[in-house]
A and B are shown apart, each in its own frame.
Chain A
Amino acid sequence: MSTAELIELRDSARQVLGEAGLAASESKTWPLVLELGWLLVAVPEELGGLGQGLAGACAFHEEFGRSLAAAPYLPAMLAIDAACAAGKADWVERFATRDFVTAPLADPALTLSDGKLGGTASAVPSADLAGHVLLCADDCVALVSLKQAGVERRERPTWDATRRLFDLRLSGVELDPGLVLARGEAARALARRLAAQRDFALAADAVGGAAALLDSTVEYLRTRRQFGRPLALFQALKHRCADLKAQVAGAEALLAETLSRAGDDLASPAAERAGQAAKLQACTVYARVAEEALQLHGGIGMTAEHLCHLYLKRALLNEHLGRGGNRYDLDLAEALLAVP
């Protein structure tokens, strides 16, 4: 895959999402996602995809973050990757063009005993529109029908208005053997692969959002005048923006570097740590930019009509998605300390 091709893809996504407007609704953006084949970006060519890999997927995640688009692109991409990993070409085609399959964006707490699944999966986007959910439990990765007996779905309104999250409670849910994607060591590897992709995707979403919000904040400071001069002339504000720019550039560079470091084996410990580092740094920076952006906008940033709060809320949610328990930093430290 060439860099030029990737840039071209990203630019087309930016244009389409830009035309759809900032924080465009799910009902507006999801049909575009299906129609334009964006779910096939990372799918290998032999399975009918564009073969752009995780880097290609992340270019799109970045654009979704930039535009605050509400489409559940991230969970759908995880489900499609799982289908690819299991070599289910027909599923790939279905999931990418018609049947939405969702997946939790936080680590679920599920157990599998006697072939029955129990526990909870939280932060499952748009579960009311999905036929199935992709779940990892113990030594098994499987699709579960959301209409199946024992699956209880509850919408959890979030501060972030650009996502609709559901909790799933499962009790005694019988696994359909035809929907099991992997078991045993293969399942553990697939779960690691999916977690790494989720982390990278959240990092990309955060990088896109942070960059866009910083741009629009600087633009606001350049046009807003007080004391007879543009706010952008005040060095106290310039320096804060410069610090944010350096942090955003660092998160972008780290994302690019970790994506290449992760390589093709996304189930490897190296890929896991690379994804964690990228996720932690990008989401921390995004939250920092969002926090500062509101202050730099002054009163207008406190109004619901302004875009600041949309980014702020998505940034805050992003920080808490993923592994949960606020432990990315602890896990990175543990990996370093474990090496003698």
Chain B
Amino acid sequence: MTHTTTTGGNPEALRAEVRAWLQQNVPPGWRAAQTGTGQDVFVRSQRDWFTKLVKAGYATPHWSAEWPGGGRSLAEQKVIYEEVARADAPRLILFFVALYHAACTVMEWGSEAQKRQHLPGILEGRVWCQGFSEPNAGSDLASVRTRAERRGDVYVINGQKTWSTLAQFADRCLLLVRTDGSGAPQAGLTYLLLDMKTKGVTVRPIAQITGDDEFSEIFFDDVEVPVSDRVGEEGQGWAVAQSTLASERGLTLVELTQRMRYSLPRIAAIMRERGVADDPALRRELGRLIPKVDAACALADRYLLKRIEGTEAAGDASIVKLAYARTLREFTLLGQRIAGLQGQYREDFIRGGGMETGNWPFDFMNSYNWSIAGGSDEIQRNIIAERLLGMPREPKNWVLA
């Protein structure tokens, strides 16, 4: 391990260090290299990039100090994300669940044996996926139905998960299952660490409207998971899952809003290329988008500062996500209008190219990832109305009028 902390915890000193490192190490021409390729090329390049980042210590700033690269403050982590966005470096999509969701969950809830078993493997490149959503449990996560039946020292799993990012390449899965269907929906959930090679696990990539297949369905047919692979107690799955979902702490949206801001000049360049830079209607739309993008950046930034100070309120995160999702939609819609008919001719897309690749119909369709996944815009609006504005919650019981 070559990493040494040279900046003594000063975020701005770290910024210079990270910036210089990225200048030397971001694979040149990675966008072109990932355009029109299969998943195998994408996976290989993700592995290479992951290995470099781990070596430099920039993949694990949020891990505890005994780990290489770990022990960074949230302010320092923010700096790394900002610099990654600024350098237009590839996003570490294939390893994100491992580095954040899996690592943070195991660190917070795992036994010593589980930590020893799983954490070093993550640094060696083990891929994890998340098995939370189901066909009938999307935004309404508590209604998970995949069953786990205890038989001696194993759980026997039957059911189906879906929308699992890159599960087709995963070694392990963070699996939320139902062990008890009798009480409150949240109370009967249990959290398991599943080996994806276990007999009875079938993964089927989902063909998306963009032509990409970054999500998969996972089917469980009498899959046996050792009880020793359970995290937390039986019935504690909901609480463990909250840790998983909280693990990235707003950093992703700092990165993505800033990437959106850095992509504004790309829109301008395309307007010039297409000879529509003087179109007054497009100019007006562009001019209205600019402060919205700035506002989304400012919201993400201030949210993280609140996290650092510990002053965030319930519902603040929903505002950031909703603002980003809406602004991204507008961004990609404008891109499409600028591209015109030309944009409607199908072009190869970039795997892992982020949210503003310049293939506007692709980007537009891809933007639904942010307005649907991770709690849809509608869920965020409920949270904002109820938590921040103090409006009443939905009644629990309903009858059709």
Contacts and interface: CB of A to CB of B under 8 A. Distances in A.
B44 interface: no
A331 B291 contact: no
B284 to A, nearest CB: 5
Interface-central residue, B271, B291, B301, by most chain A CB under 10 Å: B291
A235 B390 CA distance: 13
B390 A239 contact: no
Contacts of A256: 298, 302
A253 B299 contact: yes
Interface stretch (B85-93, B111-119, B381-389): B381-389
Interface string B369-390: 0000000001011101110111
Given A245-B384, A333-B290, A250 B298 contact: yes
B122 interface: no
Contacts of B386: 238
Contact of A242 (B265, B301, B322, B394): B322
Interface in A55-100: none
A7 interface: no
Interface string A88-120: 000000000000000000000000000000000
A253 B302 contact: yes
B382 to A, nearest CB: 7
A254 interface: yes
Interface-central residue, A230, A253, A277, A331, by most chain B CB under 10 Å: A253
B277 A337 contact: yes
A336 B291 contact: no
Contacts of B294: 254, 257-258, 277, 281
Interface in A307-340: 328-334, 336-337, 339
A248 to B, nearest CB: 9
Given A242-B381, A245-B319, A336 B268 contact: yes
A233 B382 CA distance: 11
Contact of A221 (B323, B388, B391): B391
Contacts of A339: 265, 268
A333 B389 CA distance: 34
Nearest to B389: A218
A250 B297 CA distance: 9
Contacts of B391: 218, 221-222, 232-233, 238, 241
Contacts of A253: 295, 298-299, 301-302
Contact of B392 (A232, A250, A258): A232
B211 interface: no
B310 to A, nearest CB: 15
A289 interface: no
A305 to B, nearest CB: 25
A239 B381 contact: yes
B280 interface: yes
A278 interface: yes
A232 B392 CA distance: 6
A243 interface: yes
B291 A332 contact: yes
A218 B390 contact: yes
Contacts of A243: 322, 381
Contacts of A239: 378, 381-382, 385
B150 interface: no
Contacts of B392: 222, 230, 232-233
A251 interface: yes
Interface in B282-315: 283-284, 286-288, 290-292, 294-299, 301-302
Interface-central residue, A233, A246, A339, by most chain B CB under 10 Å: A246
A337 B271 contact: yes
Contacts of A258: 294, 298
A241 B385 contact: yes
Nearest to A278: B291
Interface string B387-401: 011111011000000
Nearest to B302: A253
A334 B394 CA distance: 46
Nearest to A328: B287
A130 interface: no
A190 to B, nearest CB: 25
Contact of B382 (A238, A281, A334): A238
A253 B292 CA distance: 11
A254 B284 contact: no
Given A329-B284, A337-B271, A249 B291 contact: no
B137 interface: no
Contacts of B296: 250
Interface in B342-389: 378, 380-382, 384-386, 388-389
A333 B295 contact: no
Closest 4 pairs (CB-CB, A-B):
A329-B287, A250-B295, A333-B287, A253-B298
22 contacts: A218-B389, A218-B391, A235-B394, A238-B381, A241-B385, A241-B391, A242-B381, A245-B319, A250-B298, A250-B319, A254-B295, A254-B298, A281-B295, A328-B287, A329-B283, A332-B287, A332-B291, A333-B283, A333-B286, A334-B283, A336-B290, A337-B271
